[in-house]
Amino acid sequence: EAQVTQNPRYLITVTGKKLTVTCSQNMNHEYMSWYRQDPGLGLRQIYYSMNVEVTDKGDVPEGYKVSRKEKRNFPLILESPSPNQTSLYFCASSPRYSSGNTIYFGEGSWLTVV
C-alpha cells in the first residue's frame, strides 16, 4: 500500500530535549516536505527536499533541521524544542515536480513541548 509513515504519532516532551520525528514513504517519490498545522493558520511549510541531499527552507524553518540521506526518508529534527513548537506536524511526498501532482500526506504527529 502506498503511504507516508510518520513516527511518533503522539509525543509529549520537555523544553530543550532534542527529538526527531521520522518520515518514510514507499512510493519512490523525489519530493518530500514537512508542514506544521496550527489553529487558524492552516498548514505552513517548514522544509522541503527535491531529492537526496537537496533540502531547502520553507516558510517557517526556525528551530528545525532536516536531512535527506536516502530517497525514502526525511526526518524532522528539533534540536532544542520550545513550547511554541507545540503543533501537529505532517510529512508529505510527491513525484518529481509538477504543480498538478497530488501531494500525499502522513497521518500527522502531535507534538507537545512543556
CA distance linking residue 85 with residue 77, whole number of Å: 12
Residue 56 or 79: the one with the smaller Cβ distance to another protein is: 56
Report the residue count for the chain: 114
Question: Which residues of the shown chain bind another protein in the complex (CB under 8 A)?
Answer: 4, 31, 33, 35, 40-45, 48, 50, 56, 58, 90, 92, 94, 97-108
Q: How far is the CB of 100 from another protein (least distance, A)?
A: 4
Residue 85 or 93: the one with the smaller Cβ distance to another protein is: 93
**One-letter amino acid identity for 44?**
R
Q: How far is the CB of 56 from another protein (least distance, A)?
A: 7
Q: How far is the CB of 97 from another protein (least distance, A)?
A: 5
CA distance linking residue 104 with residue 19, whole number of Å: 24
CA distance linking residue 45 with residue 89, whole number of Å: 10
